[in-house]
Every structure is written in structure tokens, then in C-alpha cells.
Amino acid sequence: MISRAQFYLLTVNFTLGTTLFVTINEIIQRGKRDAWMMPLWAGAYGMLAALLWILLLRSSPGKSPVQIAREAWGPAGVIVGILYLLWFCMIGAWALRNVSDFMNVTIMPRTPPSMFHVMFLLVAGYTVVQGTETIGRLNGIVTPFLVFPFWTILMLATVDWDWERLLPAFQNPWEIFRFTSLMGFPFMETFALMMLYPKVRSGAAGALLLGLASAAMSISLVVFMVTGLLGPERAGRILYPIYTVVQEVELGDVIVNIHSVLIVILITLIFIKLLVLLYAAFETIHQLFRPASRWPHLEALSILLSAAAVVIYENPIQNRVLNGAITIAYDVFHTILIPALMLLSLRLRRALQSRPRRR
Amino acid sequence: MSRRQRAAAAVLALCAALLTSCWDKVEINELSLVSLAGLDRDPESGIYTVYLQVINPATGASAQGAPGGEQSPVYTYAASGKSLAEAQVTFYKLLPRRMLLHHTKAVLISERAARQGMRDYMNFSELQPDARTSIPLLVVDGSIAEVMRTFTPLERNPADSIVSRLDLMYDFTLKAGRRIELRDVIERVEREEMVVIPIVAATSKTGHLNSFDVNAEIDANRNQLRVSGGAVIRDYRMVGRLNEGDLVLYHVLTGEKGRFVRRFPFRGGHITVNMRSRRMEQRLDWQDGKPVVRIRLQFEFSTIAMKEYFPQTLDELKKLEQHLNQVFAEELKTFVNKTRGKGWDLLRIRSLLHRKAPNLPDPDQAASEAEIKIEVETRLRGMGNLGRLYDGAGGEP
Amino acid sequence: MWMLYAVLAPLIVLQAAWLIRKKMYRDTAVFAAVSLSGFGLWASIASGRPIILNALIGRIIDAAMSLLSG
Amino acid sequence: MERRTKGRSIGSDLAGDIQTMLGSPPDLVCRSLITDGDRIVKCIYLDSLVDKRTIDEFIVSSVQQNAFAEEPAASGNQYIQELPFTAPYETVRQQVLQAVVAGKCVLIDAARERLSLIDTYNAPGRQVDEPRTEPTIRGAYEGFTENIRINIGLIRKRIANPSLRFEQMTIGSQSGSTVMMVYMENLAPETLVREVRSRLAAIRTDSVLESSYVEEYIEDRILTPFPTLLDTERPDKTAAHLLEGKVAVMVDGTPFVLIAPLTFFELFSSPEDYYQRADIATFIRWIRLISFFAAVFAPSLFVAATTFHQELIPTELLISLTAQREGVPLPAFLEVMLMEIVFEIIREAGLRMPRAVGQALSIVGAIVLGQAAVEAGLISAAVVIVVAVTGITNFVVPVYSFGMSQRLLRFTFILLAGFMGLFGVLCGALFLVAHLVSLKSFGVPYLTPLAPASKDDWRDVLVRAPRPWMKPNVLPASIRRLKRK
């Protein structure tokens, strides 16, 4: 059992996870000077979706989506469960791949990607085996070490802040609605947190919504600052604007290149995301097949993820193209369609069962 | 497999991983610290020549007070190739250690390369994750090869020497601005603005000298580098120069804050004023469909340099201030007109229009025919150590 | 890529053997299923003909779309 | 066995049997006392373990003028114990043997058919002395001794409270050592006391010669570098912890007392903190924290920075580092590793060395290994500095066993740093945090009050708030958790 606060922090970090690294430049590319508005409405949408999930989990308390699927559809639920398992693995692999891409491009160009994957999987596996509390507490302890340096650096960077970069504002307010895949990633992926949801002591719903809201806020704030620091022209073109921002920060004349430290610290965000996803996948396996052992399945998952992370996409360009094409459909299927159907069938069944009792 | 065995297995696996090679590992004495980079491109053959100044670590042990004797503080390598990347890798024909670009302090680019256009170079350096773009970019007047092979006295590392000079010039003469880094050039040009970057040149030389000779030579004006003047950049191309006087005006008009000394005609003679620019604001309004840009400049000046005249009464002071306002405004106007005559939009009127009135049909047209009104406001702050000047005969004629 | 097999094969085989020895057959089945799928992916990488999941899903979704539409 | 003992009577044969069964050792005394009733009372004891004054002045005299045996001793009396004469010979003999080797005096009164065991134990041993491993400037200079009786006294002296409980038990089938469980009945949570008791009772071993034997049996997790029980030889520290409702375990024959449960941040607090001004104590506590991080991370960060992320190092520093490394044969990773190992060797040797030689050794270590190695260009000066710093910081932590675990961690992190630079260090750190948050000591999360957070305890974690600001007689979060259960 984890506390409300821990769940809230998990939500925030999970949502920020890879977003800060991967999506920023695309957001700015599309939204130009008004880019900072896009995360806001995407977040609003995400909260709507979250409401649906909460409704679903409230309908049969203490059960995770997978268990609900079995309750709703019996054996067919197993298939749904497997679908979810694959989906979690997919996103997890994606997160892993983001780490290695990022590290390879920025500070460790020669290290083979799989090394990053394996190291992270080892640690994540160990953490997941220790159970839910460990995940919650780990995240709780790590968070200040993420928040503090990150925002300090952004504050320090504001020495070359320039309002001109954000002008003219509100040129094409509707342009920002074009980037639909932002709804899927990161916001719909937070569905993975619903595997943790039943483990929260109380008030998980509020924590989830609040977490999504504050995550959306902070993404938009980051986009805003990045735009104001690099200007839309550069930020839209640079692959990892965050990296450039921290790279150009200078503490006096002495400490000029602190980016590697910050990068390595920020990577932890992605680790948290991976952690939750691995946990979700692991839980799914457990709830579907009720195995007795823990380690072997994490080992298997690690093998699967480490492989999937390599083949998830061939090159960044293909990733961008396909991402735009499939993400939204893929996520909507898992996080809107199936839950809605489950909710529907549950309601129907309850209605049918309750009728004879009324007699 | 018990938990203990598991742990053992995990440890073994880790060690096995450790035994394999460590990919990004490189010892610091297998590195060459690049402190200054130079770029040249031959217009005819289109061959790039890249110069790198690599710090000689043997001279670095200066903390113990033993600056590496007669060794050169830096070594200059040059390599050329059809493309920058080729040139970069060609270095390893000469360079025994891996390049480390993170510590590069400044980038020089030869005038002819700048005039051909440096977009490709900018892209290249932005592509390299280890090449920071937050370092100043300077145009080299004359042969870059010579500049790259020139020692600087006192500050033994030329890059440091140049950078600290830029700072000093900004603080005391306003002949160098703040926005002269690669990233600024990129950003400004991408916004279709113009930007002026400093020019560096080698001073007259007395034969070929080594570092020891340079440090032994008393005349520090020779055999070293001089930073003076500005190169006007538009669309990644150098389109012209600004002389030092104009450079000050340019920086004042673009809102750089700093001190400078200027000599104005006054009562037949002249008056030298030590000025400090306080604030600059551009306002845009429209008169019968034509944009009018109002530029208000505020300065503080001190009597510290005013050896010719010292106002005693308030209305004398007011007169002086009004005079300065009017004269300075005149100078600024003439400067602006001169540059606009050349078709240079140094005041970034166009992007002002773009910001304030984004959907103009033809911003360039509007920018070119926008009217510019400059008003200057000077105030006396700060004093020298004289309450009234000695007024014996025998001043400057 | 014999290296890959040298690392993965023992991992999977030994673990499975241990599970069987402990008479956890259900576990063995699950473990085998997941780890072998991972092994398959690795093999595809090793053989130089990687299965690009992204493209795969893309195709699946297109197929589904066409089914729904047509 | 049974057959051989048949027909033997306690009165006549017991004394001789004991003598033979102990192999008639030189220190076995078997006296026959003549009471004025002309009865013969046999008195048997090991004279190396007993207090002769008690025997002469109390037992012998009282027996001789018949004052002794009149009143049968109350049962459950620790000091005088009566054995029934009618019990089977075999069992009686066993008990008597046990009693004799435990330093009791055996009185056999054949006529009155009484067999009394009188505790006259007084083993040779050290007197109360300054604690060796955790000395303080301000505060008591007394430390526990090897004699458990004295130790009990040292605790009682500090806690004059009727609800202070001592539970004695004997562990070790061969050594039969006395282990004592100490707690405040009104403060210590019942669950905790029961847990400790059951874990102690569950120990199956042949000998317990030091409290670490017990520790290894009762700690929650074996595979961890961190101590999950606090060991101290300071009575005041023990008393303080007892008053926080914790349970202490004493073992006869060692000055080290175990205290459970232990949380991570208690490792950074020393009794001295509470004897000094709050602000100073806080400052020192921060120094300890910093030096903990230095001791664990400094060498690994150095390796990472110099072999992976040179851009981190300011240019000037980098130049001078490079200058130092010119011509150094080893890679920085091996350099640091080597120096660390050498340092550990020197330290270990320093412990074993007799005091006089220790001086010489430290000089050799410092001058020869530091100076000479640098001048010979085998090691770069920076590495020596780093190793020295970590070595010193390692001694700041007030708990010795924790210092050990730091050394272990340090080497792991150096390995990781040499392997993947900062990323490796990050992974190691995350692993460490995961391990710490999952660790429990007697059901108490190791990182309380940080995770799970309980804010009102923070005033005694990273700071030491002045006593008036702390809530009076509030137990620490760890204990409160247990009480809640």
C-alpha cells in the first residue's frame, strides 16, 4: 500500500518521464511561440480520460484493470490482459530506447544502447521485486533530487531570457490543436498507473487527477521557458532542447559545462517511468497467471524489454513518422475503447443480475 | 536458486559486464583540449581549412608557479578537406590525441569564408553535441593562418586573451556587444535580423617569433592580436563592416548597456563625456499608414572625463545636457541613415514590425520605408574628483 | 552474434530448469512464453533481420482500419 | 548410563563423580566443612571462578556455626538454589555440573539431605574503562565491560526506573553463554519485545562468544552492507535508546550491546549531539552527512569525471590534472582502485600493529606511498588527495560498523564509475536507494522518518532541534509505528 502523496508524485514523474526529453522540440516545432498552450489542453484531455478510468475502477473496487477485464469477460479477459501486457512492454521498451538514444546523442556516443537498457532493467527489476512500497518510497526520495536541480538550472539559465522570442503571441491559436499524438503520449500512457491504483490507501482518484494537472502545467512551463531561452527557431530544430539549455548554462566563469551531471540526474525521470511500466507488466502477469515465483518473470520481462527496446524502431525519423501515425490509434484502443467496453459490460451484467433480486 | 545464489549470480554478471571494454572511456592525457577553433574556406576550390589551437598541458602546471618554461602554451594544427567533417577527421593525421571540443573558448572565421556564407558551418557545429554554440564568434581580418599562429603576451592562451578582451571592451568602451555568440548569430539570422560580430586581426610582426620571444619582447603592440571593428552579418553572410565609432552607436541603439567615452563638438571646441547607456525602448506607431519607430535612449554621464568644461550652475548643466541630447541624437540619426542607405536593418525594424504587426503584407517594404525618430536623454550622474576645473591658459587649442 | 546466445540461452534454460525442479510448472510455462518471445526478438536482431515493432503495429492498425471501413 | 548410576547416592558419591567428570582440574576445590552438629557438609567449587571472600566469610562460617542451612531458600532465588535430594541422580549430577562450571558453589549436606547451589560467581576481568570505538569529548567516559553484571549496573545507574526489565536466557549448546534482553516495559512496544524474544529463542548454535554472533542470527536481512542492529559500548547511548522504547541485547563476555530497531539516520547521530548546543550539534550532523557522501561517492565521481566526462572539469583544473597525469602508466580507474586498496591495507595493518610500531607504519604509509609514488610518477597527486579525503571522511561516522559498509559501497561505486561513468554511478545510486527503502529492521522501515515520511520527527534527523522545541517524551516514529500495529 502506498500513500496518496506517493501516488501523486508517481503520476507527475511518470507523465514528465520521457516527455521532457523527446517531445519538447516537436511541440515547439508545431506550436511555435504558442507551443506552451499545447500541453495544457492535452493535459485537460488526459484528465478526462482519467475520469473514465477512475469510473471503471470504482465500479469494482480493489481490482486492477486486468482483473476487471477477467471479471467482465471471463476467459476473453485473459486476451485483454495479454494485450495490456504487450502494451506495457511496448511503452517500456519505448522509454528504454529514449534513454539510450538520448545518451548516445548527448554525452555517451559510443556506449552500445543495450548497456543502458540492461543496467536500467537490472535496477528496475530489483526495485519491482521489493514491492509497491519500495516503488513509492524510492520515487518519493528521488523526486526532490530531480525537481531541485532541474528548476534551479532553468532559473539560472534565465540570464539570457528574452521576451522578444515569445512575440508575437497568439498568432494562430488553432494551430496548436493539430498535434494530436500529444494526447496519446504522454497523457494516455498514464493508464499504466491504474495497475498501481488499487494499491493506494485512499484518495487515489484526486491524486491521479491532480498529478496529471500539475504534470501538464510543468510541461507547459518547461516549453514556455525553453522557448524563451532558445527562441522558437532554435528550440524547434534542436533534437533535445533541454540538453542545449543545460549545456549553455554557465555558473560564473569556472563551472561552464555541468550538463552531463544534470543529464544523468534527469535520466532518472525516465527510470521512474520504466519502473512503473515494468511493475504494471509484472502485475499483469501475476494477476493473469498467478505464478508462485517473482524473479524469473522479471528476468523474462527484462529479456523481452531489452530486445524490444532495440527493435522498437529503426531510426528516429521512422519513429517520428510512425509515432504521428499510430500512437493515437494504439493508445485510444487500449485506454479508451477497452475500458469503455469493460465499463459497459460490467454495468449490463450488474443490471441483469440485480433484476431477479428485486423480485 | 536461493536469494544468496541470485545475488552472487547478479554480481558475477555485473563483473562480466565490467570486464568488457568501457566504450566512452578516455584518459585525460589521451585528450587534446581545443581552446580556439578557426575556419577558412577557399572560394575557388571550396576546400575548408580548419585550425585548432590545442592547449599544451605541460604549461598548465602553472599552479606550482612553473609555467612550462620555453614550451609553447598552445599548438596550432591545421587540416583541410572538401567538407568540415572530412577536415575534422583529417586532423588525426597530425593530432596524436582525441579532440575535446567542450572547452573551446571562441571560434574565428576568416573574412572570405564569412563573406561566402557560414550557414553550413553553423549547422555543423549545432549538429555536434560536444561543440557548444554559446561561445563568441569573431571574423578574422587578413590571413587567418597568421592569426591562429600568433602568440599573445601576458595572457598566454590566445583564446582566453581574446575572450577577456571582449569582456573588457564591453564594460569600458561598448565596442563589443554581448550578443556575439554562435547561438546569437544563428537565432538572429533565423529571425531575419542582422547581427554585428567583432573582428580580430594580427598586428604587425617582427619576423617569426616563438612564445618565449613574445614574452621577452617589451613592445606588446606588435606580434599579437587586436580586436577592433565589427563585421555585419546578414543571412549567415558578412555584408560589411562597422568602424569602431559606429560600433558604439550600433550597440547603444540595440540596447546594450555599458560605459563608453565620446567626444562631442561643444562651443566651437569639443567636450569629452564618459557615458553609460541606461535604457533603450523602441515604440511603433502609425502615421497615415506608415510605420514610425520611436527610439528613446537614456544615458548617464559623469564629469570624470570632462576636462574641457565644467558646468557650475543648474541652467549651465541643463544647457549642456540639452546640447548633448541634441548632438548625440544627430550623430545617431546620421549613423542610422547611413546604414539604412546601405540597406542594412541594424535596428531590427523588420522584426519589430513582425512582433507588433505580424500580418503586414510586405514587412521588408514597410521596414525599409519606416520612419525612425530618435530622442536622446542624458543626465549627469557621477563626478570626477574636481569641483571646478583649473582655468589657466594653455589648454588644447 | 554467438555472444548473445552464449548469454541468453543459459539464462533462460537454467532458470526454466530451476522452475521445473521446484515443480512450478505454471511458472515455467509463463516464463518460457515471455522469455522465448524476447529471445525470438533478439534472434531477429542477431540474424540482421530485425522485426520493427513500430512498423508491425502500424500495419496491424491499418489492417484493422481497413477491416472496420470495408 | 542409567545402569552405571544405579544405586549411587547424592550424599556419598556426587562429590567424587563431579571431580572425575571434570577431569579433576587443578582449580577444583572440594572441602569438607564440619558443623558444630558434627555433620559433614561438602563444599565444591571452581576456585578460578568464585569470589573466595564470599565463600570464606559467608558460606564457610555460616555453615560451621550452622546458621546457614536452617531456612530453606525461597524458590526462584537467583543466588541460593535448592535441589531436591530425591530427584534422579543422573539429572541432579548434570545440574550440579552445570552449576559448578558456571561458578557456583555446591553444598552437599548428606545428613539433612539438602543440596544447595550458591552463586559465588566472580570471574577475572577488566574494570570499567573508556569506550574504545566511540569516544566522546563531552559526556560520560564509562564504557561497557566484558562482565554482564557490571554492564547491568551501568544501565541501572542511568535508569532508576522500576519498569526496567532484564530477561536472561542461555544460548549456545556448548558455550552456554548468558544473553540478556533489556527494555523498558512501559515504553517498549509489545510487538517488538515479543519479536526480539522469539528471534533470540529461535537461535540454534553451539557457541556465542560475541554479540555479533547473535546479531547475525536475529537481523532481518543477511544480504545487506548496512547494519540493521546498532552496536554500542556506551551505557549512556544504550540508556537513551532504551528510553526511546527500544530493546537492547547484552551478551556476557563482550562490551558490545545490540540495540533494535535501528534506522538509517540514527547512524549519523552520536550521543555527543545531545550533550552539545543544538546549533553546533546540527552543524556537526551535517558534516557527518556530507562526509558520508564524500566517503561513498568521491572516488567514483573522480573516476567518472576524469575518464568519461572531462567537460565537467573547469578548463584550468583539467589542464593541471592532465599535466599531472603525463606519464602516469595506469588508467585513472586502476590508479584509484589501487590506492584505495593500499589504503585499506595500511589501515588494517595499523589496527593489528602494536601502538609503538603503528606510528612508524603511518609515516611509511603517508610519506612513502603518497610522496614517493607521486614523485616517481606512478600515481597522480590528485588521486592521492582523493583517496586521502575519502579515507578521512570515512572515520567521521560515529558507528564503526557503518564505516565498514561505507568502504564496501565505495568500491562498488568505483567499479560502476569505471564501467559507465556517471550513468553507472546513477544506476548504483538508484539501486542503493531501492535497497535502503526496502530494508527493514524488526519491522521498522530503515529510512524512517524520511520514507515513510513523518514530519514532526525531522526535527531530530537533519537538525538537532533544541530540547525545549522537541515534544516532551514522544517516542521516535519507528517505535510509534510498532505501537500502532
Q: Is the pLDDT of residue C44 over 80?
A: yes
Chain D touched by B287 (CB under 8 Å): no
For residue A37, pLDDT beyond 90: no
* HSE, side-chain direction, 13 A CA sphere, residue A178: 14
Burial class of residue D117 (count of CB atoms within 10 Å of its CB; 0-12, 13-18, 19+): buried
Which chains lie within 8 Å of chain B at 3 or more CB pairs, if any? A, D
- β-pairing, B137-141 vs B106-110, is parallel
| Residue contact C34–A322, C-beta within 8 A | no
D311 and B103 in contact by Cβ < 8 A?
yes
Phi then psi for residue B228, to 5 deg, are: -160, 145
Higher-confidence residue of B12 and A268: namely A268
A107 or D471: which leads in pLDDT: A107
A168 to B355: CB separation less than 8 angstroms, yes or no:
yes
- Provide the pLDDT confidence category of residue D5 given band limits of 50, 70 and 90: low
Asked if residue D243 is part of any domain, the answer here is: yes
What residue ranges define each of the domains in chain B, with the CATH number in brackets?
A: 28-242 (no CATH), 248-380 (3.30.300.210)
Whether residue A65 is predicted with pLDDT greater than 80 in this model: the reply is yes
- Distance from C35 to chain A by nearest Cα, in Å? 4
Co-location of D171 and D76 in the same domain: no
Other Cβ atoms within 10 Å of B368 Cβ, number: 13
Contact A130 D438 (CB under 8 A): yes
**Chain A: residue nearest C14 by CA?**
A296
Query: Best interface-test mutation with D: which of B25, B26, B97, B102 has the largest number of D CBs within 10 A?
Result: B25
Nearest-angstrom CA–CA distance, A319 and A332? 19
Chains near C with 3+ CB pairs less than 8 A apart are A
Would D29 be classed as within a structural domain?
yes
> How distant is the alpha carbon of residue D250 from its chain centre?
8
Task: Tell me which residue in D420, D438, D451 faces A140 most closely, judged by beta carbons.
Answer: D451
| Residue of A269 and B7 predicted with greater confidence | A269
* Nearest CB partner across the interface for B358, out of A112, A171, A231: A171
Half-sphere exposure of B255 (CA within 13 A, CB side): 10
pLDDT tens profile D145-189: 998 888 999 999 999 999 999 998 889 888 888 899 999 999 899
B379 strand-pairing partners: B300
In this complex, do B33 and D322 lie within 8 Å of one another by their Cβ atoms?
A: yes
Q: How many CB pairs under 8 A join A and D?
A: 83
- For D397, the domain range is 277-445
The helix or strand, by DSSP H or E, that contains position A163, with its residue range, turns out to be: none
Share of chain B above pLDDT 70, in %: 90
- Mean pLDDT is lowest, of B1-15, B95-109, D184-198, D257-271, for B1-15
Q: Which domains are present in chain A?
A: 4-347 (1.20.1740.10)
Pairing of strands B98-100, B31-41: parallel
B1 in contact with D, Cβ within 8 Å: no
Q: Would you tell me how many other CB atoms lie within 10 Å of the CB of residue A270?
A: 24
pLDDT given at position D194: 93
Residues D177 and D46 in one domain: no
Predicted local distance difference test score (pLDDT) of residue B65: 43
Q: Of the ranges A239-248, A277-286, B341-350, which is most confident?
A: A277-286
- B271-313 pLDDT, tens per residue? 899 999 888 888 888 888 888 999 999 999 988 888 888 888 8
A interface mutation test: which of D430, D439, D455 has the most A CBs within 10 A?
D430
How far is C-alpha A89 from the chain's CA centre? Answer: 13
Q: Which of A234, A293, A302 to mutate to test the interface with B (most CBs of B within 10 A)?
A: A234
Which of B200, B261, B185 is CA-nearest to residue B230?
A: B200
pLDDT of B20 over the 60 cut: no
Say if residue D301 is in the same domain as residue D373: yes
Residue A334 amino acid letter: H
Nearest residue on chain A to B129, alpha-carbon basis = A106
CB contact under 8 A, A313 and C54: yes
**Domain count for chain D:** 3
Is A298 touching C (CB cutoff 8 A)?
Answer: no
CB atoms D310 and B100 under 8 Å:
yes
Q: For residue B79, is pLDDT > 70?
A: yes
Mean pLDDT across A270-292: 93
Residues A117 and D346: their CA atoms lie apart, in Å, by 39
Digit-coded pLDDT (tens) for D338-364:
888 888 888 888 777 777 777 777 777
Residue in B closest to D304 by C-alpha: B25
C-side interface with A, Cβ within 8 Å?
A: 8, 11-12, 15, 18-19, 22, 24, 26-27, 29-31, 34-35, 37-39, 41-42, 44-45, 50-55, 57-58, 61, 65
Pick the residue with more confidence: D411 or A171? D411
Flag whether D308 is in a domain.
yes
Residue in chain A closest to B13 (alpha carbons) equals: A122
Q: Please give the pLDDT value at position B1.
A: 46
- For D239-251, the pLDDT digits (tens) are 999 998 999 999 9
Nearest C-alpha of chain C: how many angstroms from A217? 30
Q: DSSP 3-state assignment of D441?
A: strand
Query: Does the beta-carbon distance from B58 to D326 stay under 8 Å?
Result: yes
Q: Which residue has the higher pLDDT, D193 or B59?
A: D193
Selecting from B7, B22, B58 the residue whose C-beta is nearest the C-beta of D323 gives B58
Query: CB contacts < 8 Å between A and C, how many?
Result: 103
The cell for D156 is 541501572
- Cα distances (angstroms) measured from residue B396 to each of B269, B273, B389: 9, 16, 14
Q: What is the pLDDT of residues B241-272, one digit of tens each?
A: 999 889 999 999 988 888 999 999 888 888 89
Nearest to B364 by CA among B343, B352, B350: B350
- Grid cell at residue D124: 577475572
Locus of grid cell 519606416: B370
Smallest Cα distance from C34 to chain A, Å: 6
Is D453 domain-assigned?
Answer: no
Question: What average pLDDT does this structure show over D27-36?
Answer: 84
On the question of pLDDT at A210 being above 90, the answer is yes
**Is residue B53 over pLDDT 90?**
yes
pLDDT at A208: 94
Predicted pLDDT of residue B196: 93
The per-residue pLDDT of chain B, averaged, comes to: 85
Residue D235 covered by a domain: yes
**Helix axes A65-73 and A38-59, enclosed angle (nearest 10):** 50
Q: C12: distance to nearest CA of chain A, Å? A: 8
Is the pLDDT at D484 greater than 80? The verdict is: no
Single-letter amino acid, residue B117: G
Does residue A43 carry a pLDDT above 70? yes
Q: Which residues of C touch A303 (CB under 8 A)?
A: 8, 11-12, 34-35, 38-39, 42
Chains contacting D (3 or more CB pairs within 8 Å): A, B
**pLDDT, greater one: A359 or C27:** C27
Place of cell 522509454: A95
For range A142-146, the mean pLDDT: 91
D327/D187 same-domain check:
no
Contact A168, A33 (CB under 8 A): yes
- Closest-CA distance, C52 to chain A, in angstroms, reads 5
Query: Model confidence at A187, in pLDDT bands (50, 70, 90)?
Result: confident
pLDDT digits (tens, 9 = 90+) for B212-236: 777 777 888 888 899 988 999 998 9
Amino acid letter, residue A61: P
Task: Give contacts of B24 with chain A, Cβ < 8 Å.
Answer: 108-111
pLDDT band at D3 (very low <50, low <70, confident <90, very high): very low
- Contact yes or no for C42 and A314 at CB 8 A: no
Distance in Å, alpha carbon of A256 to nearest chain D alpha carbon: 7
Q: Is A301 on the interface with C (CB under 8 A)?
A: yes
Least confident stretch, B125-129, B196-200, C17-21 = B125-129
Among D324, D267, D275, D273, CA closest to D296: D267
**Residue ranges of domains in chain C:** 2-69
Stretch D325-337: mean pLDDT, rounded?
A: 86
Given this model, what pLDDT does residue A192 score? 92
Chain B residues 30-49 within an 8 A CB cutoff of chain D: 31, 33, 35
Does D318 share its domain with D436?
yes
Task: Characterize the bridge pairing of strands D164-171 and D177-184.
Answer: antiparallel
B2, pLDDT greater than 60: no
CA distance D383 to B31: 18
pLDDT, tens only, D423-449: 999 999 999 999 999 999 998 999 888
Contacts of B35 in chain D (CB under 8 A): 315
Nearest to B26 among D307, D321, D323 (CB): D307
Q: What is the pLDDT of residues D67-107, one digit of tens each?
A: 665 555 555 566 777 777 777 888 888 888 888 888 888 88
Same domain for D397 and D420?
yes
- Name the neighbours of A, counting chains with at least 3 Cβ pairs within 8 A: B, C, D
- Give the position of cell 512575440: A167
